[in-house]
Structure 1
Amino acid sequence: MRITAFRKMMADEFGEIRADMLARDHVFGALGNRTVDQALEAGVPAKEIWRAVCDTFEVPPERR
């Protein structure tokens, strides 16, 4: 998954402003206690990050 596609999926699911806030501020245990932005910078695949976001926020399977 490309980062641009990941960012679009985040914005579609949470709204642009909240998606930016979550990526910057929310620490995910599943990502090694990193934020989305930190995980992307560390080279974690966007698909793995998306799964962690979906699991944490209980995104329904049809929107994953």
Structure 2
Amino acid sequence: MTYREFWALVDEVLGRAQGRVLAQELVLGAVGGRSAQEALDAGVPPRDVWHALCDALEVPDARRWGQDDRRPAPPSR
């Protein structure tokens, strides 16, 4: 997963405004007690950050990859 794909999923799955706020402010234990943005800035792979964000927000697996049925899900963790 690229950074661009990460942010596209944040916007699509969480909503642009809410998703961006959550990425900046929600502390995620799975990535070292950092926000998603801090984790990305620290070099944590975007796929790992996405899973941590979805897990924290209890996003169902069926919704994690957006609405594009042709978009393959990134390899599992």
TM-score by length of structure 1 reads 0.93
The equivalent residue for 2:37 is 37
Q: What stretches of structure 1 move > 2 A for 4+ residues in a row?
A: none
Could you tell me which runs of 5 or more consecutive residues in structure 2 were left unpaired when the two chains were aligned.
65-77
TM-score by length of structure 2 reads 0.79
CA distance in 2, matches of 1:48, 1:12: 18
Could you tell me which runs of 5 or more consecutive residues in structure 1 were left unpaired when the two chains were aligned.
none
RMSD value over aligned CA atoms? 0.8
Question: Is the partner of 2:34 in helix, strand or coil?
Answer: coil
The structure with the largest helix share of the pair is 1
CA distance in 2, matches of 1:26, 1:60: 18
**What is the 5 A alignment of 1:15-54?**
15-54=15-54
C-alpha displacement of 1:34: 0.3
CA distance in 1, matches of 2:12, 2:18: 10
